[in-house]
Structure 1
Amino acid sequence: MSEFKVHHYVNELMHQLGVTSGDSADVYAETLLKNTTGYVTTQVSAHSAKRRIAEHSKTPEEFLRKYDELKSRNVRELDPMVFFLSKLLDDKETKTALENHARENPGPQPHPLSQINLPQSGSKMTHQEVSELRNQLKSVASSGTIRTQPSETVRKMMREKQLKKNSSLVLPIMPSWVNDKPFLGNDFVITHDTREAMVAIGTLPQLLQEHAIIEDLLFVMMGIEGRYILAQPLNDKFSERTFLVDQSLDVSFRDLVYRALPVCTHYSKVVRFIEEKALFEYGTVNHALISAMRTIMKQYLTLVGQLENQHRQGHLSLQKFWFYIQPCMITMQILSSIANSIDRGTCTGGAVLSLLHEKTSAVIGDAKSQDLCLFLTQSACAPYFEMLEKWIYKGIIQDPYCEWIYKGIIQDPYCEVSGFYKGIIQDPYCE
């Protein structure tokens, strides 16, 4: 961390703590610079720090649950922050100073809803108590102290942010017919119209059972429901697609079908991710990533076409089908894992690259998986590094989706970056 940033953070910290007397910020900044040691984030140090905080916490389960939630969202500087908090446990003077400050400056007032007397669990409320509770809720709501948190997507938040910075900007909006016509997408469309009309597959000879179930698997691998394999609706955006297989199918065939269905589950997740992140609000890094994913999906669909050709010629058995899809199962699993992590963390820009780097490091030892992750990382890095190169060499900042300028702050007080001598900044959306 540069000296300028250290002075800035010390000033902000003193302002937040209300420290006006004593030594100036320069004294504390110099002390910090002299005692600064590089922190290397490792799984061992983060795990030890997390365990130490949990041991001294009054609610360890809640702390661990919150840590796992933030980790799944790929929050920046989470592990260094946990490491820093674990070190504070050994510093008695700092703990005492923080406790004294907390007593002198009490926190915010309790939430208005906490002042409402609710009935005990299992007790029955009278008509008068219900009326009183209704009046209390109305009074709290009318006072404006309750503010509902909007459950909007990151797409709407980014749109509002850009429009606030430039009211004359006209942002493209996806037409409504895209959502009104679900068959335009590549994911499953739940119909189940043929459930009552179809004949139980168990009534057919084994040779015909194998032929019919392979045909269904080929359809399901492309996001189309079969006659004996039906896709189930999703519970939420992040849930995995599940399938219902006709239970009258031969036991040996049914076992192989359930082994192959995870490929279809991963396919559903990946195509949903590609179709969503293709919208402009998610930035050029996500656009480059899904472009690389589309290249892999074309190879996947080519494999499905080759399997279908073998099936039409009568050369494809269920055992051969299971053997041929082994390589693509690992590939689709990696793509689905990346898509799920980016979705849960609502990652854009550099956060996507950090997550891809973690995935690449996690598969070291598996050459094919590592090559796949490197291909995705290199593709996603291209637009990010292009913005960085323009800034360094030409002083041009062109970041329409706020991917590179974190929080819109550029700190270069001494014009150390060569491009700033030209004084050229092009930033049409984040002015």
Structure 2
Amino acid sequence: MPRAAAPTSVPPPAASKLSMQELEELRKQLGSVATGTSLQQSLELTRKLLRDKQNKKNSGQRLPVFPPWVYERPTLVGDFLTGSGVSTDSAVPIGTLPLASQESAVVEDLLYVLVGVDGRYITAQPLTGRQSRTFLVDPNLDLSIRELVNRILPVAASYSTVTRFIEEKSSFEYGQVNHALAAAMRTLVKEYLILVTQLEQLQRQGLLSLQKLWFYIQPAMRTVDILASLATSVDKGECVGGSTLSLLHDRSFNYTGDSQAQELCLYLTKAASVPYFEILEKWIYRGIINDPYSEFMVEEHELRKEKIQEDYNDKYWDQRYTVVQRQIPSFLQKMAGKVLSTGKYLNVVRECGHDVTCPVAKEIVYTLKERAYVEQIEKAFNYASKVLLAFLMEEKELVAHLRSIKRYFLMDQGDFFVHFMDLTEEELKKPVDDITPTRLEALLELALRMSTANTDPFKDDLKIDLMPHDLITQLLRVLAIETKQEKAMVHADPTELTLSGLEAFSFDYVVKWPLSLIINRKALTRYQMLFRHMFYCKHVERQLCNVWISNKAAKQYSLHSAKWFAGAFTLRQRMLNFVQNIQYYMMFEVMEPTWHILEKNLKSASNIDDVLGHHTSFLDNCLKDCMLTNPELLKVFSRLMSVCVMFTNCMQKFTQSMKLDGELGRLTLERGTMLGPPTEAERAEERARKELARKYLAEHVDAPQLASSFEATINKFDKNFSAHLLDLLARLSLYSTSDCEHSMASVISRLDFNGFYTERLERLSAERSQKAAPQVPIPRAPPASAPRVAVPAQ
């Protein structure tokens, strides 16, 4: 817009020196240069931080940037040039002009100021930070005219704010939503500039007075003021992407009573939401995120899906894609969870090489009615859930894999375990460092081929795993329960802990993507803990059965008259009854019913998160009901198993001793019969040989060496076993009543089916009460009876 000639009724005074007013103007302009430089540096730093963050996220794929000259040439901005130097255009002092001429000059100045150019009598003040633009009006201007000018100047200040916002947010670093918002504002600013051009045309025709200017500018004043308010709010909040849309949406609602303002905000929000909805549509319809400027509510992290099979703590499903709360538009807040899940489901199918095309795909357009978004996202979510669930259940055979894992880890395949334990018994007795894993793998393969497990299509996924620690240490680590001894074991070098193959043995299972989402390392670790627990119980049962077999063979020796012999048989049978009932409880009263519940829930599951939740709940319930999550019960049960193992070792070695004694007696008898009575030297030699044999056996028996006789040893085993079993029953009774663990009452009814242990508990309680009672000469009341073990009705 060319500048019109200034009125020349009074010739300008010639001046060879700068006046005081010009010196003050020069000082302000020099100050504005420094302020402008500081603001420019701040903007450049902000752009650099955003650019670095985006480049880091895009893994080296650098985003485009504007060339430096875009920021170095201030005349491209369209805003006031407050630091361009001292103006050489001398204006006639406004106070010397008549009122009509003052009004004409001011109208011309206002037309310049409204488009970001300083006038002669109205000039823009330098900016200080991000504050609104202020203006300096010639103080000699007529008071009435100055008052009207001050009413119009806020339009110019708002225009300056909007112009700077458009130029700043047009940089690549601020994201596509801000780009779209700036473009929509630029469209409105163009209409505003057309209005100013029309007013200039009237001014050139002499038809524009100050009053008319004030009248014509008022409709645009409200629009530019709202634009400036939005620009300031976005700047202060450092809004990008979804946060910008939230601000615009909330502002639209705030203007509910002002239809013009609300219509303006709706126009801006609809324009700004277009790129965001494009990202959203690609995510919920195809499972792809294309978000180079980090604006979307879902953020992608660089995680390898292969790690889910290796790392126990890897949370691929939870951490590969996460919701960024700041980037959730307020009108999508309620649907954020479903938006995340929808894209995740489709992403899994897409990563498996299947093309995903949502049949209900429809363009999403911004509206104040949230119902439109809800319906569209619900449709996409239902489709994605159905596709992934069908993919896992039918094509990847998830349930069949879970049944295969149950067959091996939860000992569902009985004949396989008989073959396997028979084949590996000698190998697993060795220290873990002496075991050859390939030999175990070969024995596993042989056991699989010899049993009905040979028909399992997934049997080749079963592998051998020798763990660096025993089951109790593993469980206590998981439960974070550490005594001083356990803490020392945890921090000890694994090579210093001498584990047998039996203690370290476990199965492992090869799971491929995408089944590893459900059967991940965390789930497999739970399966391994259950398996190791049951495998050890099965081992103890086999040892007790071996004792029974050896006892049957020992009956041929004249030992049945010994008192301890009946006690040993009774104790063995009690131990066997305990171990077998515990196994029956775990297999048929915990795992089997819980498994049927899992299968039923899987059939009714509507999405993969339901499947994941049901599977995790199944494993957690099994661990809890098998007493593996309670450290107190776990420790008591471990002591009981240790007593049983020590007893079997003792009985096996004692039976060997009896066999040796019988064999020596038989040989002596044969020798005496054939060669006549033995000589004294032969008798002495025989006695020495027997003594050496007994000494050798005594060195290899754990408990008998602490007792003076075998009878005392058996009695000690009986006492320890009974004490630990009573302790276990008392704790089970306490937990079943206080923690409402009703399943544990079933264990009590199995182990104490005839009330034998309940009577012993009552007797012990009565004895403790008598000992605790004070010794006084007055008659004592009868001791209070101990609480009975809670046993459900048979």
TM-score tier, shorter chain, comes to 0.5 to 0.7
Separation of aligned partners in 2, 1:376 and 1:313: 36
Q: What is the SS of the residue equivalent to 1:230?
A: strand
Q: What is the SS of the residue equivalent to 2:103?
A: helix
Checking the alignment, whether the CA contact within 8 Å between 1:220 and 1:226 is kept in structure 2 is yes
Quote the offset at 1:162 in angstroms.
2.8
Gaps of 5+ in 1: 1-149, 426-431
After superposition, give the CA deviation of every residue in 1:94-129 in whole Å (9 maximum; x if it has no partner): xxxxxxxxxxxxxxxxxxxxxxxxxxxxxxxxxxxx
Match in the other structure for 1:394: 286
Quote the offset at 1:161 in angstroms.
1.8
Aligned CA distance change for structure 1 residues 415 and 253 (closer, same or farther; 3 Å): closer
Q: Which of 92, 107, 125 matches 1:214?
A: 107
Quote the offset at 1:155 in angstroms.
2.2
Percent sequence identity is: 53
1:204 to 2:132 alignment: no
1:282 to 2:210 alignment: no
Which structure has the greater CA radius of gyration?
2
Q: What is the SS of the residue equivalent to 1:247?
A: coil
Checking the alignment, whether the CA contact within 8 Å between 1:285 and 1:381 is kept in structure 2 is yes
Q: Which of 120, 124, 128 matches 1:231?
A: 124
Separation of aligned partners in 1, 2:210 and 2:115: 17
After superposition, give the CA deviation of every residue in 1:170-189 in whole Å (9 maximum; x if it has no partner): 33332222232211211100
Match in the other structure for 2:216: 324
| Letter of the 1:421 counterpart | V
Separation of aligned partners in 2, 1:352 and 1:323: 34
Checking the alignment, whether the CA contact within 8 Å between 1:399 and 1:405 is kept in structure 2 is no
Q: What is the SS of the residue equivalent to 1:275?
A: helix
1:341 to 2:233 alignment: yes
Aligned CA distance change for structure 1 residues 308 and 414 (closer, same or farther; 3 Å): closer
Q: Which of 86, 91, 94 matches 1:193?
A: 86
Separation of aligned partners in 1, 2:268 and 2:125: 30
Separation of aligned partners in 1, 2:343 and 2:189: 45
Aligned CA distance change for structure 1 residues 283 and 265 (closer, same or farther; 3 Å): same
After superposition, give the CA deviation of every residue in 1:300-354 in whole Å (9 maximum; x if it has no partner): 0010001001111111110010011111111011000110011111100000000
Quote the offset at 1:405 in angstroms.
4.2
Q: Which has the higher contact order (CA 8 A, sep 6+)?
A: 1
Quote the offset at 1:413 in angstroms.
7.3
Aligned CA distance change for structure 1 residues 275 and 416 (closer, same or farther; 3 Å): closer
Q: Please, what TM-score do these two structures have when normalized by structure 1?
A: 0.60
1:37-186 alignment, distance < 5 Å = 153-166=45-58, 168-186=60-78
Q: Which of 168, 171, 186 matches 1:294?
A: 186
Quote the offset at 1:151 in angstroms.
9.5
Checking the alignment, whether the CA contact within 8 Å between 2:155 and 2:221 is kept in structure 1 is yes
Match in the other structure for 2:349: 421
Match in the other structure for 1:33: none
Quote the offset at 1:270 in angstroms.
0.3
| Letter of the 1:180 counterpart | E
Checking the alignment, whether the CA contact within 8 Å between 1:192 and 1:230 is kept in structure 2 is no
| Letter of the 1:339 counterpart | A
Q: Which of 230, 253, 257 matches 1:361?
A: 253
Separation of aligned partners in 2, 1:418 and 1:379: 28
Separation of aligned partners in 1, 2:300 and 2:128: 36
Match in the other structure for 1:382: 274
Checking the alignment, whether the CA contact within 8 Å between 1:387 and 1:397 is kept in structure 2 is yes
| Letter of the 2:231 counterpart | A
* Higher helix proportion (structure 1 or 2): 2
Q: How many residues align?
A: 275
Separation of aligned partners in 2, 1:154 and 1:318: 42
Separation of aligned partners in 2, 1:195 and 1:209: 21
1:245 to 2:137 alignment: yes
| Letter of the 1:214 counterpart | V
Separation of aligned partners in 2, 1:181 and 1:376: 29
Separation of aligned partners in 1, 2:218 and 2:251: 21
Quote the offset at 1:361 in angstroms.
1.2
After superposition, give the CA deviation of every residue in 1:234-279 in whole Å (9 maximum; x if it has no partner): 011x211100001111111100000000000000100000000001
Quote the offset at 1:192 in angstroms.
6.1
Aligned CA distance change for structure 1 residues 416 and 223 (closer, same or farther; 3 Å): closer
Checking the alignment, whether the CA contact within 8 Å between 1:240 and 1:265 is kept in structure 2 is yes
| Letter of the 1:193 counterpart | V
4+ residue runs over 3 A deviation: 150-154, 165-168, 405-409, 411-420
Checking the alignment, whether the CA contact within 8 Å between 2:284 and 2:342 is kept in structure 1 is no
Match in the other structure for 1:96: none
Checking the alignment, whether the CA contact within 8 Å between 1:392 and 1:419 is kept in structure 2 is no
Checking the alignment, whether the CA contact within 8 Å between 2:287 and 2:344 is kept in structure 1 is no
Separation of aligned partners in 2, 1:156 and 1:407: 21
Aligned CA distance change for structure 1 residues 414 and 276 (closer, same or farther; 3 Å): closer
Q: What is the SS of the residue equivalent to 2:80?
A: coil
| Letter of the 1:273 counterpart | F
Separation of aligned partners in 2, 1:349 and 1:225: 35
After superposition, give the CA deviation of every residue in 1:366-405 in whole Å (9 maximum; x if it has no partner): 1111100000010011111111011111122111111004
Quote the offset at 1:207 in angstroms.
1.2
Separation of aligned partners in 2, 1:228 and 1:414: 62
Gaps of 5+ in 2: 1-41, 302-320, 323-339, 355-794
After superposition, give the CA deviation of every residue in 1:13-44 in whole Å (9 maximum; x if it has no partner): xxxxxxxxxxxxxxxxxxxxxxxxxxxxxxxx
CA RMSD between the two structures: 2.3
